[in-house]
Amino acid sequence: MFKPVRKRNRTGFTLIEILVVCAVLAILAGILLPLFSEAKKQTYRAQCVSNLLQFGHAFSLYSQDWAGYWPCPGGLKGNYTYWAQTGSGGLQGYLPQRGVKSVWCCPMVKGWNGQYSPRSYSMNSYLRTPADIEYPTCTSYIRGVDICKLTRPGKTILLYEGRYIANDSDKNLDYIYRCANWQYVSGYAQNTRLATVSDKPFHERLNNYLYCDGHVAARAPGLWFISSLSTYSEMYEWYVNKAAYEVMFTKYLAKSIPRN
């Protein structure tokens, strides 16, 4: 007499089933992780844009309080007209500096080891009275630009994402110039035949720029060509007096500087 064969109750997964599940999870991770990473970058870019828009509003409020003038991009040590002065001057009273997570820093900045308050944005050094004065002569002029002099505010840079430099007093301290021109934009691309690019833009290939009319644009930094100059169109967005810029650079350097 034959006894009936009892079916075994399965209490777990087979090795093949486990391997299939692992393979599916690996595929999903490969698809989703880049998406999460890109979403995080987009969030950082959006927060950075929001920071700069707040600065645009703060500059507007400052001009209303100071008879149509903006704070000076920079000056001698101790001048309270600095736009980024951490004391009682500049925009401190309009946008208080509160560390790397404040509006003064792009979210890409995760830490700061410096004697000055963290700040990842720099101001266009030519926004003075008188305007378009080159360094080091500009340090004698500590009054910001009269906003009525901005004939093309939508084509004139106000703030930009600055390049990290070695602090003069301690090479291990973080520092970004409070003001400069295209040479100190993060990721300013130098001619690879002459120098090695030492840093990168904040947002992959792009930086965020605040323009004098209050709008923000993301674009690649300027290109290095001869001496300290950049492209014709890049420099055009830094100078206040566009007509004088056209005369000066078109007459003497048009053949040397690319116009794109």
pLDDT tens per residue across span 128-141? 999 999 988 988 88
For the cut 60, the answer to whether the pLDDT of residue 179 exceeds it is yes
Q: What is the pLDDT of residue 39?
A: 72
Separation between Cα atoms, residue 199 and residue 163, nearest integer Å? 8
Count Cβ neighbours within 10 Å for each residue of 203-225 and write b for 16 or more, e otherwise. Answer: beebbbbbbbebebebeebbbbb
**At a CB cut-off of 8 Å and minimum separation 6, what does 169 contact?**
115
Grouping H, G, I as helix, E, B as strand and the rest as coil, residue 94 is coil
For the cut 70, the answer to whether the pLDDT of residue 228 exceeds it is no
Q: What is the pLDDT of residue 79?
A: 72
- 195 pLDDT band (50/70/90 cuts)? very low
The total number of structural domains that make up the chain: 1
Question: Does residue 102 fall inside a structural domain?
Answer: yes
Question: Does residue 238 fall inside a structural domain?
Answer: no
Question: Does residue 87 fall inside a structural domain?
Answer: yes
Q: What average pLDDT is seen over the chain?
A: 83
Rounded mean pLDDT of 78-94? Answer: 81
Question: Does residue 254 fall inside a structural domain?
Answer: no
For the cut 90, the answer to whether the pLDDT of residue 59 exceeds it is yes
Give percent of the chain with pLDDT exceeding 70: 79
* H or E stretch at 20: helix 15-65
Separation between Cα atoms, residue 105 and residue 98, nearest integer Å? 10
| Residue showing tokens 């690649």 | 220
145 within 8 A of 131, measured Cβ to Cβ: yes
Beta-bridge partners for 211: 157
| Residue showing tokens 């930094």 | 221
Question: Does residue 134 fall inside a structural domain?
Answer: yes
Question: Does residue 249 fall inside a structural domain?
Answer: no
Q: What is the pLDDT of residue 126?
A: 97
* H or E stretch at 30: helix 15-65
| Residue showing tokens 């980024």 | 84
Question: Does residue 255 fall inside a structural domain?
Answer: no
Question: Does residue 198 fall inside a structural domain?
Answer: yes
For the cut 70, the answer to whether the pLDDT of residue 255 exceeds it is no
- 106 pLDDT band (50/70/90 cuts)? very high
Separation between Cα atoms, residue 93 and residue 85, nearest integer Å? 10
Q: Which domain holds residue 89?
A: 16-220
> How much of the chain is in helix, strand and coil states, percent to nearest 5?
30, 15, 55
